[in-house]
Amino acid sequence: MQTVFVFGGSDPHAATHTNARQRDKTVTGGKGANLAEMASIGLPVPPGFTITTEECVRYLKDGADFSDHLRAQVAEALTNIERAVGKKFGDAADPLLVSVRSGARVSMPGMMDTVLNLGLNDETVQGLAAASGHPRFAWDSYRRFIQMYSDVVLGIDHGLFEEALEIIKEDNGFYADTEMNCEDWQTLVSQYKAIVEDELGHPFPQDVNEQLWGAIRAVFDSWDSDRAKVYRRLNDIPGDWGTAVNVQAMVFGNMGDTSATGVAFTRDPATGEKTYYGEFLINAQGEDVVAGIRTPQYLTRAAREAAGAKPQSMEEAMPEVFAELAHVFDLLERHYRDMQDIEFTVQQGKLWMLQTRSGKRTAKAALKMAVDMVGEGLIDERTAILRVDPMALDQLLHPTLDPEAVRDVMASGLPASPGAASGKIVLDADTAEQWAGRGEKVILVRVETSPEDIHGMHAAQGILTARGGMTSHAAVVARGMGRPCVSGASALSIDLKARTLRIGTRDLKEGDILTIDGSNGQVMAGEVPTIEPELAGDFGTLMEWADRHRRMKVRTNAETPEDCRMARQFGAEGIGLCRTEHMFFDAQRISAVRQMILAENEQGRRAALEKLLPEQRKDFHEIFEVMAGLPCTIRLLDPPLHEFLPHGDAEFEELAEATGYGVDHLRRRAEELHEFNPMLGHRGCRLGITYPEIYEMQARAIFEAACEVAKASGKAPVPEIMIPLVATRRELQLLKALIDRVAAQVFAETGCTVEYLVGTMIELPRAALMAGEIAEEGAFFSFGTNDLTQTTLGVSRDDSARFLSAYVEKGIFARDPFVSLDIEGVGQLVELAAERGRATRPDIKLGICGEHGGDPASIAFCEAVGLDYVSASPYRVPIARLAAAQAALRA
């Protein structure tokens, strides 16, 4: 089987470019497939070849070795590059140099390794200097290669090389790398080689083929690097995909003032505006732009003027090449029908395309682009719905800084990723993760971020860097994560040893609070107030399209009027789960709840419940007012009673005073109620069976409130009373009879009748297996997948954090089963229960109300099973609406 594919060269329409496997991103990765595609449509792509992802998987599986078959195909492909450019790999007179880059099937910016200028050694550098006529360029390229190869392949700390560079610049009074001359670079190369020999005990490799295979090995190995694993876990990328390797003839942006390198987007990835967006550097290589080593220049004159920057834009400095690049932008966007993220190099006035891919974008930009592209006729409504990541909407559903609030602005940087965040300053990724883990909001402040910071960036509320541009690592990753980011804040300096920093004229320390606004680049002291988001415009348009195409209804998990109103604003079509126990914990009524629990007999319990009835009725009345005319699934009391009891001495004394019982008596009663495994103990319907007066009170409160709202508004809510933790038909039969009896009493007393249903939560494996029988009594099933996951896997959600991450990393679970439904196991029970329930009662209503109701992958499963609705927390309702539409379109 062919595992190496060539692209580019003298014949852009070679047959290899139409090979279906080469165009398959699962085989050649996104970068390899797109390079071949760009070459096939006639764009200037340096010739190269792609080693497939299959070879990476085989390499990692078979003990990190290369087959003779692969080596032969690589040698043949390398010969193809040599023919295309007229240079020989390793030729001392006029050498071919190559880049070696990763390329997974989905973009993982900065997570895997790259090596540039490969093929240089002590002999070929002389040949490059002579053949190019630019000795300074040749030695600059050699020092870059030694540093990059030593870091990526040999595992030497890149800081050692950075320090040597800074010393030589300081000794010569230089500020910028561009001030270094040829002799300076030669001196630095000698120092770099000495660093390698000191660190490794042997010289820097001079054999170009050894260099090539070392780089290929490093790219394959980087698929399993810690940072790549974290990124995959955060973005739900399977570990068995592997990465392709792209080997490509080098083109040079560091050959003087007619050469340049840059990164560009065909639309603004932060706002979605249809305007070219990007940065470039004259006389530089690609890592200079993305790593923030030098401050980049703007691509367009308009962007430069808007920023008040002085250095010429590419449009002004290289007008002819810019015009060609603009044409390529338009061609690629029309070809891929999406916003493109492009890397390019200009070598002595000639434009070369190094990469294109669908660009990362903020949620705001994704919405605008999707809606605009439909208006432009570039895509249709269905494509627009499918293009927006439902989870990205989370960025739009949270507060932004209040424009009227006082802002103590200390400095400004580049608005690299929109949104605003406040938090405690942390100066490294590990600290960010630790502090966030204990519930603190943090802002990660760095000179510049690197891929090793990925875990800290994820933990932080926002990111602030002293260096880097709009396309730096920090900016790209922050936009992808939906984190606000301000980059290139040059007024920021950090003393990592002292754990202090200076912003403008202010001295601060780690732990101080600051606020960043990623929409305008401001850095502010202290915490700035926020306002709720406006959900209109493009958001409203896309949600309207999504609602038009989805089949499943979307409800919310809510038990307060505030949450209900928020959910209705976000488009909820009813309540899928109202947890009544949350109402019992209210400080004004907890004393009555405890009296009910501690009562010695039914009479005592009923006396306490009489005090709770008006409070419960008021709770439901407020909820039904918001949800008038809509279905409201209300779960009767579920948790074990001991959860409501006091714990500390003060609470026991307070309860003793309220009840008249002695503290010792109360402690003894609490001890009697203690359970060794309360999750499987006296809770749920078992409370209703043993203390039916509790469920009687709750049912009465529900029906009285529903009748009050029906009379007042003319729109009756539809209570769906849910009995929790049912395992048998008989449990539901007994409690349904109780609820029907209370309903009849209330309807007779009030002269009002409302529609209602009685059903159960399926959260035990036995209930799923016996769903056919249980459906004889229940008019609906709501799958409580939180507990169903616990009881099926035998895993406590509250205690699983200490080992679940290891299970995910080792491939035991693809994802945390409490975040995304375990479709193979728990999902099978859901599907079976749905089938058996419908067989008994064809019109049974089926929904899901666990946390999985807001997870797009779980929602897709619910669509496949044919559930009637999903229910999610209020802020996840829009996510569920869009995910349900996508699931319906893909079905």
Active site residues: 473, 849
Alpha-carbon distances of 777 from 392, 665, 781, 785, rounded to whole Å: 41, 41, 11, 21
Work out whether strand 244-249 and strand 260-265 pair parallel, antiparallel, or are unpaired. unpaired
Helix (H) or strand (E) holding 168: helix 158-172
State the Cα–Cα distance between residues 816 and 173, nearest whole angstrom.
54
Cα distances (angstroms) measured from residue 329 to each of 263, 319, 356, 699: 12, 15, 10, 64
CA-based nearest residue to 640, from 526, 725, 513, 753: 725
Name the nearest CA neighbour of 97 among 80, 82, 114, 118. 118
φ/ψ (deg, to 5) at 346: -110, 115
Whether 850 contacts 789, CB under 8 Å: yes
**Cα 368 to the center of its chain, rounded Å:** 19
Distance from the first to the final alpha carbon of the chain:
33
CB of 566 closer than 8 Å to CB of 624: no
- CA nearest 29: which of 223, 241, 222? 241
Rounded Cα distance between 568 and 555, Å, is 9
Task: Give CA 656 to chain center in angstroms.
Answer: 50
The residue type at 378: L
Rounded Cα distance, 519 and 516, in Å: 9
**Quick count: other Cβ atoms within 10 Å of Cβ 610?**
12
Report yes or no: 776 and 841 within 8 Å, Cβ to Cβ. Answer: yes
- How do beta strands 492-495 and 500-503 pair? antiparallel
**Parallel, antiparallel, or unpaired: how do β-strands 98-103 and 260-265 relate?**
unpaired
Burial environment of residue 326 by CB neighbours within 10 A (0 to 12, 13 to 18, 19 or more): middle
Q: How far apart are CA 710 and CA 553, in angstroms?
A: 23
- Helices 68-85 and 208-222 meet at what angle, rounded to 10? 120
Helix (H) or strand (E) run with residue 413 in it: none
Alpha-carbon distance values, 602 to 297, 607, 608, 645, 680 (Å):
79, 9, 10, 18, 24
- Give the side-chain half-sphere CA count within 13 A for 179: 12
From 137, 157, 149, select the one nearest 212 (Cα to Cα).
149
**Coil vs helix vs strand at 827:** helix
Q: What are phi and psi of 97, to 5 degrees?
A: -110, 150
Residue 15 tokens read as 């047959």
Distance between CA atoms of residues 268 and 738, nearest Å: 61
List the one residue out of 499, 427, 520, 430 whose CA is nearest residue 466. Answer: 427
Which pairing describes strands 409-412 and 522-525: parallel, antiparallel, or unpaired?
antiparallel
Rg (CA), the chain: 32
Residue 512 parent element (H or E):
none
Residue matched to tokens 């300096």: 493
Question: What single string gives the DSSP state of each residue in 488-523?
Answer: --TTEEEETTTTEEEETTEEEETT-EEEEETTTTEE
Residue 140 CB neighbours (<10 A): 27
Q: Provide the 8-state DSSP code for 588.
A: T
